[in-house]
Amino acid sequence: MSVNIGIANRYSMALLEVAKERDNVQELTAEVTAVKDILGQNPEFISFLSSPAVSMKTKKEAVKAAFESADDVVSNLIYVLIDNKRAGLLLTIIDHYISSVNAYLNVGEADVYSVVELSEAEEAKLADAFAKFTNNKQMILRKHIDASLIGGVKVVMGSVVYDGSLRSKLNGLAHQIKMS
């Protein structure tokens, strides 16, 4: 585990503990997700917060202006990151926090790769099947298009890959033919 990942994990776990103590895990998660969306649309803001050329006071004033309606816990987290010169880890911390909340709420996460966009019915069926398979209440699917699959789907959960793609089946068949 890299040092930054470990640091991000500690901050995210502390944020989750605060959310549990305040009994507002889902509300805080919504706020943090909104912050992530805003930062995703404005990546230069993270660069600004990480820049040693900008004073801490200026950074904090910008955070206050940008996130004035955010929960104090979110603003305070960003202020602490600025103070500790770790504002560049904010998105990683948010991602770890969201994953930790999902684990806490027994919600699984998976990346799904398909040749074409899945219909809502296909997505729901796949999410239900993997939720049952993994004993989760729910499964969040992050969808990706991958034309190299030829057909079918590939599901990645952490380090585990469930490959039901046509490409995988053809590769398996080719391997069997070679071995015969």
Domains in the chain: ranges and CATH: 3-102 (1.10.520.20), 107-179 (no CATH)
**Gap between the Cα atoms of 135 and 128, Å rounded:** 10
Strand partners, 162: 155
Residue range 134-152, pLDDT digits in tens: 999 999 999 999 988 888 8
Residue range 3-39, pLDDT digits in tens: 788 899 999 999 999 999 999 999 999 999 999 999 9
Cα–Cα nearest to 86, from 117, 123, 115, 46: 46
Cα 43–Cα 48–Cα 53 angle in degrees, nearest 5: 155
pTM here is 0.76
pLDDT of residue 111: 93
| DSSP secondary structure code for residue 84 in this structure | T
